[in-house]
Structure 1
Amino acid sequence: MSNLDVRHQLTNEEEQLLQRATDLFPVLRKFGQQIDEDRHIPEELIEQLAAAGLFKLGTLKKYGGYEVSIRALVEIISEVAKGNGSVGWVVQIINGNNFNATLSLSPQVLDLIFEEEEEVRFCSVLQGRKVDFQKVDGGYLVEQGLWGFASGSKHATHALLNLRDNRSVKDNASMLLAVVPMSEVTIIDDWYTMSLRGSSSNSIQIHNVFIPDKYIVDQSENMYTNMNVLSNESEHINQYKPYTLIISTLTTGISAILGLARGGLEYFVETATRKGITMTTHSIQAEVGHIQYKVGLAAMKIESAHLHINRSIESLEYHIQKKQPFTEKEFAQIQTDIGYAAMLCTESVDMLMVESGGSVIADSNPLSQIYRDIRGGANHALTTASTGLELYGRILLGLPPQNLLTLSYRPILTV
């Protein structure tokens, strides 16, 4: 049975990391406007996040990281996003990518990467816009490649990029992932948006870059190899490898959205006890019946979203423990859970915006920033509710999936 109280499921170290994220809340809120105006996170704040260990949540202990559980990752990143959506998004993306790179790359390649940098931070784009490459002796030559949107690009050391683009994924949905140092990447300054302005989700490009074979992961081959890892308990991390795509869904979108909704509710509750409603006789918003109703409904939507997220995590943990592949329906249900959770969180903030009066439209109003950021987060391909609901409906109706993530994983799903 899913439970909203996750404290008893976190280790002491994970609770300490969660507390460090909580302690940064005032600093994150203070930098809110500057982050939006600069369209990236100030370096002094990056340093504070790094000092708190918040870029190493998904990094293996052997490389100086914390190797936290998926559940802890969601809770800690959610706490960061309560303070600022852009920061939460970047922390989420870097940790999710670091964890997923660990599951995808060989130990030898990981050793090389982590020896080169004091702190490795991956950005990623899992579908190229246009990529022209060819297989050559010893690797791949990318003649030209364009990807968007690479969240956290200005703060990353490496990029994890799918060499298959919009044209080729229709013929082959599995990913051909390449590790590229950011020194080989050009960041295009094109992230001018209403939402998550400080996430540095710029387009990136490379031109005539040679990528050695050892830095390439062919997912179509890797998935079958990883299924054989189910019976191999020589390394703790191995148990996660067959579930890399599910873990990508859980670690690269929903945590920040959950945190933004939680932050929006907390801010609204705080201000409702000291402001009235213009053009009425109500001097305290919190004493008005329809406000109480909306706060209760918003809270239930957020808590329901958390339950859906927890159900997905429990499903993942069950399959890992039993060393079982997912059925197609189970895989689709997790994707749908995440999109539906994002929809519930967005709806909760929408309701609170409506009840916040005219002052909420100011850029400086924290709820205004939360509203903009959660809207952008919920539009991410992995958290778009309509895509997930269509997928789940198709599976329930006995139709083939339309979702590329499900299609790429389909060869090793059970009926």
Structure 2
Amino acid sequence: MVEQHAVEFPHTQEARSFHKMNIGNLANTRCGSSAEADESVVARARNLVPELRRRSEEIHALGRIPRDLFDRLLAEGLFGLSTPQGYGGLQTSVKTKKATIAELGRGDLSVGWVAAVMNNAAWCLYALFPKHIIDRLSATHGGFRGCVTVSPVKAKVRKAPEGYVIEEGRWGFNSGVYHANWDLLAIPLVDDAGNITDHGLALVPMDAITILDDWDTMGLRGTGSSGVIVKDLFVSGELVTSTSALLSGVTQATSATAPLYRTATDPLLTISQLFPVLGAAQTAIDTFLHRLPGRMIYGLNEEKIESAVTHLQIGEITAKIDAADALVQRAAEALDRNAESMGEYMPSLDRARIRRDIGFAVRLIMEAVDTLASAYGGSAARASDPMGRIWRDLRVATLHGLLVPATSLELYGRLRCGQPQKAAML
């Protein structure tokens, strides 16, 4: 058995088909210079795939994206997909973001995951906060580089004149925190008596935050998703936005006039985290096919590449991943279409349907990748094996609360049955 630390693949037919699926749909909905701009953005990410694959073990061992690689991604504009053009960003559609971040995920899932999170944080800034705040944070050295976490382990907050004091707070899963200069932290919003009136997101500068350096997992290690703590910190009210308002489509930034910043919040932030997963699933197929020649079926004198079992498995696996991609593509197009329509905020049932499709896509992907890992064999158990790393990365990624299938499927089914909504995030 040959140990591999990094794998470079030729452009297989499967990879070419995956690329055409992402870009072809863009070209069908946009024309001329817009389509060319979309392709240019995606090409920036695609050109990095070989390097990301070569450096995957380094990223994993370091527990974060290496600084030089992060700076290169930053220079290519790949953390500016949700940043308005007026602030130096690319301001892409959801469809283009899908194609771009999926390419990063093809290279390394941790890198794609951090890109999704940091672009989501940027979207929150430019869609939800007033212009003078945007101007100030955008003028930060190196620009705004944010991360976001909506799951506080503990957040004790009191009302104060002109804002709030976070007396004591702890948050986990801060993907990209080692490269961020601002963190969007979920906090309860309270009145003078301490009663919770709403929930919100508070923009907190990284120099006021202690990083716990506690990210120690079997997969997605390169995201550096460490926990953070904050104590006795005053946060001005203008740096806090209401969760209930943002989930209802209330925006206040001048950039909100662009369609991107009218996109339905919950499905946008959720679907973005699935984009790199789609790319990593494609790499799992590439890895399997790359190692297939010469490998034998255990206990039989038959090569896997010639076996009908392998052919059936690949047929089913690719069908599931293609079906997942089609569901996500349809959802991305629906989000763009609604945002561009200048009509009403996306109705709750439509938002729930996107969450349903995301959940089902996750299920299809994991069924496919589990089958791949099983067919790949015991080599996937080795920590240094590329299939094992991809498999573990995907397993950890799909544990994210927004991607758990059961929650999203139940949410849609409940609304279709005419029952009242009970999910906070929709």
Q: Same fold (TM over 0.5)?
A: yes
What is the CA–CA distance in structure 1 between the aligned matches of 2:241 and 2:328, rounded to whole Å?
Answer: 29
Aligned sequence identity (%): 29
Given candidates 342, 345, 370, the residue that maps to 2:365 is 345
What is the CA–CA distance in structure 2 between the aligned matches of 1:71 and 1:21, rounded to whole Å?
Answer: 14
What is the CA–CA distance in structure 2 between the aligned matches of 1:211 and 1:374, rounded to whole Å?
Answer: 36
Stretch of structure 1 that moved more, 19-28 or 300-309: 19-28
1:25 aligns to what? Answer: 49
Summarize the alignment of residues 108-127 of structure 1 with structure 2, pairs less than 5 Å apart: 108-127=132-151
Is the partner of 1:58 in helix, strand or coil?
coil
2:265 aligns to what? Answer: 244
- Alpha-carbon deviation of 1:327? 2.9
What is the CA–CA distance in structure 2 between the aligned matches of 1:274 and 1:134, rounded to whole Å?
Answer: 65
- The answer as to 2:353 corresponding to 1:329 is no
1:411 aligns to what? Answer: none
- Alpha-carbon deviation of 1:233? 10
Judge conservation of contact 2:171–2:229 (CA < 8 Å) in 1.
Answer: yes
Stretch of structure 1 that moved more, 271-280 or 25-34: 271-280
- Alpha-carbon deviation of 1:108? 1.4
- Alpha-carbon deviation of 1:212? 1.1
Is the partner of 1:404 in helix, strand or coil?
coil
Summarize the alignment of residues 381-396 of structure 1 with structure 2, pairs less than 5 Å apart: 381-396=401-416
Matched letter for residue 247 of structure 1? L
2:310 aligns to what? Answer: 291
Change (3 A) 1:225 1:347: closer
Change (3 A) 1:327 1:47: closer
2:302 aligns to what? Answer: 282
Matched letter for residue 84 of structure 1? D
Stretch of structure 1 that moved more, 217-226 or 47-56: 217-226
Judge conservation of contact 1:89–1:199 (CA < 8 Å) in 2.
Answer: yes
What is the CA–CA distance in structure 2 between the aligned matches of 1:151 and 1:351, rounded to whole Å?
Answer: 28
- The answer as to 2:326 corresponding to 1:307 is yes
Change (3 A) 1:144 1:368: same
- Alpha-carbon deviation of 1:371? 0.6
Is the partner of 1:6 in helix, strand or coil?
helix
- The answer as to 2:340 corresponding to 1:316 is no
Matched letter for residue 398 of structure 1? G
Post-superposition Cα deviations, 1:74-107, rounded to whole Å, max 9, x if no partner, equal 1111111111111111111111221122111112
Is the partner of 1:370 in helix, strand or coil?
helix
Is the partner of 1:294 in helix, strand or coil?
helix
Summarize the alignment of residues 232-271 of structure 1 with structure 2, pairs less than 5 Å apart: 236-237=257-258, 240-241=261-262, 243-251=264-272, 253-271=273-291
What is the CA–CA distance in structure 1 between the aligned matches of 2:206 and 2:242, rounded to whole Å?
Answer: 21
- Alpha-carbon deviation of 1:399? 2.1
- Alpha-carbon deviation of 1:113? 0.2
Matched letter for residue 325 of structure 1? Y
What is the CA–CA distance in structure 1 between the aligned matches of 2:260 and 2:42, rounded to whole Å?
Answer: 25
- Alpha-carbon deviation of 1:362? 1.1
Given candidates 333, 346, 367, the residue that maps to 2:387 is 367
- The answer as to 2:237 corresponding to 1:218 is no
Is the partner of 1:341 in helix, strand or coil?
helix
Is the partner of 1:68 in helix, strand or coil?
coil
- Alpha-carbon deviation of 1:374? 0.7
The alignment's TM-score, normalised by the length of structure 2, stands at 0.86
- Alpha-carbon deviation of 1:358? 1.7
Is the partner of 1:355 in helix, strand or coil?
helix
Judge conservation of contact 2:53–2:108 (CA < 8 Å) in 1.
Answer: yes
What is the CA–CA distance in structure 1 between the aligned matches of 2:246 and 2:408, rounded to whole Å?
Answer: 25
Matched letter for residue 126 of structure 1? V
Judge conservation of contact 2:181–2:206 (CA < 8 Å) in 1.
Answer: yes
What is the CA–CA distance in structure 1 between the aligned matches of 2:108 and 2:394, rounded to whole Å?
Answer: 11
Judge conservation of contact 1:140–1:210 (CA < 8 Å) in 2.
Answer: yes
Matched letter for residue 245 of structure 1? D
Change (3 A) 1:214 1:349: same
1:140 aligns to what? Answer: 164
- Alpha-carbon deviation of 1:142? 0.9
What is the CA–CA distance in structure 1 between the aligned matches of 2:48 and 2:274, rounded to whole Å?
Answer: 20
Stretch of structure 1 that moved more, 271-280 or 232-241: 232-241
Number of aligned residues: 394
Stretch of structure 1 that moved more, 10-19 or 131-140: 10-19
- The answer as to 2:207 corresponding to 1:186 is no
Given candidates 197, 211, 215, the residue that maps to 2:221 is 197
Judge conservation of contact 1:18–1:76 (CA < 8 Å) in 2.
Answer: yes
2:83 aligns to what? Answer: 59
Judge conservation of contact 2:127–2:261 (CA < 8 Å) in 1.
Answer: yes
The alignment's TM-score, normalised by the length of structure 1, stands at 0.89
1:355 aligns to what? Answer: 375
Judge conservation of contact 1:394–1:401 (CA < 8 Å) in 2.
Answer: yes
What is the CA–CA distance in structure 1 between the aligned matches of 2:42 and 2:180, rounded to whole Å?
Answer: 23
What is the CA–CA distance in structure 2 between the aligned matches of 1:224 and 1:331, rounded to whole Å?
Answer: 11
Is the partner of 2:376 in helix, strand or coil?
coil
Matched letter for residue 287 of structure 2? Y
